Structure 1
């Protein structure tokens, strides 16, 4: 599997000029691992971070009397970000497929959720479908962008990953429940239990710089969901959208949304698995043999 785009490979080669001089053990080695972890995470978040910066900037500085509505400005800005991601080769055409799928899946949910009053957007602009401005789909695409990029930047491998057809069935049930719980029994607790049973034994293996690490996949889901919840707070504070209890005055998004984002992570992982098949970790003997050749850690 190709780990880097052409631009990323150039950045990686440049970074290794500094990182390769770092000691292999001791405090400086741990510091290097920590810094590389942060830089890779930031690089994986570049789409979402750019979009969030635009959302906050539009809230602070976009003129209220501008001819172009703020929501339309956000949609155009999101399109420009996506085009730049492709033209600068920060994303591959292969990854773009799953990002478009995230966009479509998210937009369908947005149309339904705004119709039933789960949240709302400002009623301005023409680049919209019903009550949903088109930039909203790019927020889901940003999650997809992060998922596919973090997969290859950290060379993710998975021990005891469940069968993909089982994960697809659970993901479909989760997505369906986001709609049906408004009318019939809310099965989220049953679905949460199913996720814990199915993904509980799975361990995620990842490489930062020189070292390999392990983490329960469930914990990784929770951490990503927490960061999305934090971004959601910034987005609502910026007025990009609001929940009903925030209309009369902003306050933090309910922690209950962490459960929703956790479940949505399962759907996200299944979509990414369509592009990158989850692979088991390399056996220690094979890893040692590879390290003796021309292969090096990213």
Structure 2
């Protein structure tokens, strides 16, 4: 029970940036009295200030801040495409000053929260792996995943082929994590699935807070389709490999 409690505390610490961002979104949905600053701009400024505080109080490392910057750039490019007038996968209905085209700048931080979580939880639990595939193979996989986020609007969507390739590559991979003293382990594919599920839940809260809306939510809020879980699962893999590119993959011998 002590280890289970410690696991929860460490996970909460790893989610500190994403949790703060979601809190600001929900709180400003319920009550936002500042007329001089657009709500989206307030979320953007709050995210920057919180990032600075994390660095000042050494709750975040410089390496983790680099991960956040990379994710912000990668995500903004995808957001510009997805929210363009020609595609319109989702929209940001409120006004803002800090933004590019149809994309308010705080949106990059939403994806950065995922990268921040992975980088932080990797360090906190001292991740190790068995049967981890070659790094070059994983880079090719996530490159195709990222490309498919764009091309499926114009050609056949091959995400399910990518899911099948992911399963083939990582079917034997176990992730080992140390909560206290002893290492525990689980299949990496299941770990990704659990994180993707929590992201899907957070997405429902964010759309409820009117941070962004899908076309079917334009008139009235409704739950995000569970089909989005698949998209978040693929994004999890992309996020994980990006973090793995700047972290050392430590291996561990499989216990008999």
TM-score by length of 2: 0.96
Distance 2:236 2:96 in 1: 31
Counterpart pick for 2:229 among 255, 258, 263:
258
Look up the match of 2:20. 50
Task: Describe the SS at the equivalent of 2:91.
Answer: coil
Look up the match of 1:120. 91
User: Quick check: 1:123–1:131 contact (8 Å CA) kept in 2?
Assistant: no
Look up the match of 1:19. none
Look up the match of 1:35. 5
Structure 1 residue 76 and structure 2 residue 45: aligned? yes
Structure 1 residue 184 and structure 2 residue 178: aligned? no
Counterpart pick for 1:111 among 80, 83, 94:
80
The 1:56–1:186 alpha-carbon spacing in structure 2 relative to 1, beyond 3 Å, is: same
The 1:283–1:196 alpha-carbon spacing in structure 2 relative to 1, beyond 3 Å, is: closer
Structure 1 residue 62 and structure 2 residue 32: aligned? yes
Look up the match of 2:195. 224
User: Quick check: 2:196–2:232 contact (8 Å CA) kept in 1?
Assistant: yes
Structure 1 residue 163 and structure 2 residue 131: aligned? no
Per the TM alignment, residue 210 of structure 1 is displaced from its structure 2 partner at its CA by: 2.7
User: Quick check: 2:200–2:229 contact (8 Å CA) kept in 1?
Assistant: yes
Unaligned 5+ runs, structure 2: none
The 1:129–1:280 alpha-carbon spacing in structure 2 relative to 1, beyond 3 Å, is: same
Distance 1:74 1:97 in 2: 20
Look up the match of 1:89. 58
User: Quick check: 1:33–1:210 contact (8 Å CA) kept in 2?
Assistant: no
Aligned CA-pair RMSD: 1.2
Look up the match of 1:212. 183
Task: Describe the SS at the equivalent of 2:248.
Answer: coil
Look up the match of 2:69. 100
Distance 1:122 1:66 in 2: 17
Structure 1 residue 133 and structure 2 residue 101: aligned? no
Task: Describe the SS at the equivalent of 2:185.
Answer: strand
Tell me how many residue pairs correspond in the alignment: 253
User: Quick check: 1:48–1:146 contact (8 Å CA) kept in 2?
Assistant: yes
Per the TM alignment, residue 122 of structure 1 is displaced from its structure 2 partner at its CA by: 1.9
Larger Rg over CA atoms: 1
Cα deviations by residue, 1:153-175 (Å, 9 ceiling, x for unpaired): 11110000000000000000000
User: Quick check: 2:21–2:47 contact (8 Å CA) kept in 1?
Assistant: yes
Distance 2:138 2:226 in 1: 25
